């Protein structure tokens, strides 16, 4: 069957090739994480100092929900299949946009900054409202996959930008083509992560399951992801 080799090739890609590629292209992924973290800390600091900033960034509807001490995610519970589908589509759109924006160089950095700022502002606003546990027990089960996927997608965008800006000894077109190949394969690996994250966010994260169970699932998924990315596909003698 013609499907056999294709499916086999895909299995090898995800089992062996992808984790090796991730480790090779780790620097731009770490840079994306650093940009996100700086923006998140800035968002938290500004919101802690000036609560009005949260209203400006999050909008009145979300702030009214926080003021009422209600999680805006409660509505997700009643629309689980629709929510899971919508969340996954949105997350994939964000990931692909972050990757594609790399061709503009500044685009990926800007989107990473915005996403980091947003989580910092939400974190500070919910903390002020005494909702920190509600927020982080919601975010953790899916966020341990969703956020690394976003960092990888942003890293792919930065790898694209690197190929464009710093071709080295290669002609710029060849440098961009080579970097684009690595970056697009890097992006491919985020798709399963975002599919699983979207399903968890639609069906599990907003439920009334005890916070301890949500954190336990998040911890287990994160440990599995780290083991896969840093241990998968290692050749004999690879450090």
Reported as a single tens digit per residue, the pLDDT across 175-227 is: 999 999 999 999 999 999 999 999 998 889 888 899 999 999 999 999 999 99
pLDDT on residue 236:
60
Closest alpha carbon to 83 in 203, 192, 204, 205: 203
Question: Could you give the 3-state DSSP secondary structure of residue 73?
Answer: coil
Question: CA–CA separation, 166 vs 42, rounded Å?
Answer: 30
pLDDT score for 102: 85
- Side-chain half-sphere of 83: how many Cα atoms within 13 Å? 18
Q: How far apart are CA 206 and CA 74, in angstroms?
A: 6
Q: For residue 155, is pLDDT > 60?
A: yes
- Report residue 108 as tokens: 């990926």
Closest C-alpha among 160, 229, 163, 161 to residue 193: 229
- With contact defined as beta carbons under 8 Å apart, do 44 and 120 qualify? yes
Asked if residues 225 and 148 have their Cβ atoms less than 8 Å apart, the reply is yes
Query: In percent, how much of the chain has pLDDT > 90?
Result: 57
Task: Write down the H helix ranges in the chain.
Answer: 3-12, 18-24, 26-49, 52-58, 60-67, 80-100, 106-128, 132-165, 172-188, 190-203, 211-231
Residue among 30, 29, 10, 25 nearest 181 (CA): 25
pTM of the model: 0.87
Question: Which tokens sit at 140?
Answer: 């953790």
Split at pLDDT 50, 70, 90, the class of 77 is very low
Per-residue confidence (pLDDT) for residue 3, from 0 to 100: 45
């Amino acid at each position: 069957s013609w499907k056999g080799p294709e499916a086999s090739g895909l299995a090898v890609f995800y089992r062996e090739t992808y984790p090796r590629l991730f480790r090779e292209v780790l620097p731009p992924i770490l840079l994306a994480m650093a940009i996100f973290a700086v923006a998140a800390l800035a968002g938290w600091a500004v919101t802690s100092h000036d609560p009005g900033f949260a209203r400006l960034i999050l909008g009145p509807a979300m702030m009214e929900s926080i003021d009422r001490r209600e999680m805006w995610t409660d509505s997700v519970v009643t629309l689980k299949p629709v929510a899971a589908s919508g969340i996954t589509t949105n997350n994939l759109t964000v990931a692909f946009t972050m990757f594609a924006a790399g061709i503009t160089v500044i685009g990926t950095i800007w989107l990473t900054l915005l996403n980091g700022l947003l989580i910092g502002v939400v974190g500070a606003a919910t903390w002020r409202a005494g909702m920190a546990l509600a927020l982080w027990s919601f975010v953790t089960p899916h966020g341990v996959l969703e956020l690394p996927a976003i960092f990888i997608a942003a890293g792919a965008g930065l790898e694209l930008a690197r190929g464009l800006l710093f071709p080295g000894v290669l002609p710029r077109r060849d440098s961009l083509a080579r970097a684009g190949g690595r970056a697009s394969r890097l992006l491919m690996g985020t798709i399963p992560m975002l599919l699983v994250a979207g399903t968890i966010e639609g069906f599990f994260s907003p439920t009334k399951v005890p916070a301890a169970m949500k954190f336990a699932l998040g911890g287990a998924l994160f440990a599995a992801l780290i083991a896969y990315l840093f241990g998968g596909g290692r050749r004999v003698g690879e450090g």
